[in-house]
């Protein structure tokens, strides 16, 4: 007897997708395998590493700790949805590029979404606040030094060229 499938409409990066998935399908897997949005990465599946972090109605959440069926009626933003409409990098992404804030790139999407929300809520973070903003994401390559710099640079860029049209 095959598994029951549920209809769920996911709104991801501004587009709507209709899926039929089992209830147990994790949001991380639905994004990656059902929608082909492989930018969200899976590092642990127990909510600790943060590589799978996406924005749910603008707030960072672990996609590996959510069921796809639970995300009905909510706006999901993944790393693929962070860049500007013209394809250029957002301030956060640009900060990372300038400051060598990534090496293998696997943890990076989770940092980018987290920091995008973090700087939106606090556009002028102190150094301590920058560190605190990323304190829930693991990185094995960079040792975090340049990620902190990337947050500070992104904040600078945000003040120079705000992306919200202000």
Partner 1 sequence: MKPAPFAYHRPETLEAALAALAADPHAKVLAGGQSLVPLLSMRLAQPSALVDINALPGLDGIEVDETGVRIGALARHAAVLASPEVRRVQPLVSLALGHVAHATIRNRGTTVGSLVHADAAAEMPVVLSLLGGSVRVASVRGQRDIAAAELVLGPLESSLAPDEIAVSAFFPALPAGAGVAFEEVARRHGDYALCGVAALAHGARVAAGYVSVGDVPTVVDLSGVPAGERGAAALAQLDPQADIHATAAYRAQLVRVLTERVVESAVSSARGES
Partner 2 sequence: MTTKLMGQGVQRVEDQRFLRGQGRYVDDVAVDPATLHAAVLRSPHAHARIVDIDVDAVLDLEGVHAVWTHEDLTGPMAEPLPLLIPHPALTHGRTQYALARDEVNYAGEAVAFVVADDRYLAEDALDRIRVTYDVLAPVVGIDAARAADRLVHDDVPGNVGARMEQGTGDAQAAIAKAPHRLELDLTVERSACTPLEGRGTVARWDPDSNRMQVWTSTQSSTGVRAVVAVKLGLDLGQVDVITPDVGGGFGVKINHPWPEELLVPLAARTLGRTVKFTEDRREHFVSSAHERGQVQHIEVGFDDDGRLLGLDVEFWHDHGAYTPYGLIVPIITSTQLLGPYKPEVYRVVFESLYTNTVMVTPYRGAGRPQGCFAMERTMDAIAAYLGKDRAEVRATNFIQPDEFPYDQGLIFQDGRELEYDSGDYPASLEKIKALVGWDDFPAFQKEMAAVGRKVGIGLACYVEGTGVGPYEGAHVHIETTGKVKVATGLTTQGQGHATVFAQLVADELGVRFEDVEVVTGDTRRMPYAVGTFASRAAVMSGSAIHLAARRAKEKVLKIAADALEAAEEDLQIVDGVVSVKGSPGTALDLGTVSVLSNPLRYAFDEASKAATQFSVGDPGKPPVPEDEEPGLEGRDFYSPERATFASGMHAVIVETDPDTAEITILKYAVVHDCGRLINPMIVEGQIHGGVAQGVAGALYERMAYDENGQLQNASFMDFLMPYVTEVPDGIDIDHLETPSPLNPLGIKGAGEAGVIPSAAVFAAAIEDAERIPITAMPISPSELFHLRQEHTP
Contact call for residues 51 and 107 (beta carbons, < 8 A): yes
Q: In angstroms, what is the minimal distance from the CB of 63 to partner 2?
A: 13
Position among 7, 9, 20, 72 found at the interface with partner 1 (CB under 8 A): 72
Whether the CB-CB separation of 99 and 146 falls below 8 Å is answered with yes
CB nearer to partner 2: give 71 or 109.
Answer: 109
- Helix (H/G/I), strand (E/B), else coil: 152: helix
Please, which residue, 73 or 146, has the CB nearer to partner 2? 146
d(CA 32, CA 40): 7
Q: Is 136 in the site for partner 2 (CB under 8 A)?
A: yes
Q: For residue 31, what are the CA distances in angstroms to 5, 12, 116, 138, 154?
A: 16, 9, 19, 21, 27
Whole-number minimum distance, CB 42 to partner 1, in Å? 10
Residue 125 contacts partner 2 per CB under 8 A: no
CB 28 within 8 Å of CB 63: yes
Question: Which residues lie near partner 2 (CB under 8 A)?
Answer: 1-2, 22, 24-25, 29, 32-33, 36-46, 48-49, 51, 78-80, 83, 89, 93, 96-98, 100, 102-109, 112, 127, 131, 134-148
């Amino acid at each position: 007897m095959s598994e029951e499938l549920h209809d769920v409409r996911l709104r991801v990066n501004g587009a709507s997708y209709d899926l039929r998935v089992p209830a147990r399908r994790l949001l991380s897997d639905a994004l990656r395998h059902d929608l082909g949005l492989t930018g969200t990465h899976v590092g642990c599946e127990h909510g600790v590493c943060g590589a799978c972090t996406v924005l749910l109605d603008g707030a960072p959440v672990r996609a590996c700790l959510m069921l796809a069926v639970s995300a009905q009626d909510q706006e999901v933003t993944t790393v693929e949805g962070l860049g500007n409409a013209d394809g250029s990098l957002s301030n956060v992404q640009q900060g990372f590029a300038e400051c060598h804030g990534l090496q293998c790139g696997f943890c990076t999407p989770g940092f980018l979404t987290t920091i995008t929300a973090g700087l939106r809520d606090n556009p002028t973070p102190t150094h301590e606040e920058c560190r605190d903003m990323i304190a829930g994401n693991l990185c094995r390559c960079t040792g975090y030094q340049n990620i902190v710099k990337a947050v500070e640079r992104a904040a600078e860029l945000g003040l120079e060229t705000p992306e919200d049209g202000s």
